[in-house]
Amino acid sequence: MEIAVDEDRCVAAGHCVVAAPEIFDQREEDGVVVLLDPRPSAAAHDIAHEAALLCPAAVIRVVRTPS
Each residue of 44-63: pLDDT tens digit? 999 999 999 999 999 999 99
Domain that holds residue 13: 2-63
CATH number of the domain bearing residue 38:
3.30.70.20
**pTM reported for the whole predicted model:** 0.93
Domain count, the chain: 1
Each residue of 4-48: pLDDT tens digit? 999 999 999 999 999 999 999 999 999 999 999 999 999 999 999
Supply the DSSP string of 29-65, one letter for each residue.
TT--EEES-SS--GGGHHHHHHHHHH-TT--EEEE--
The SS3 call for residue 20 is coil
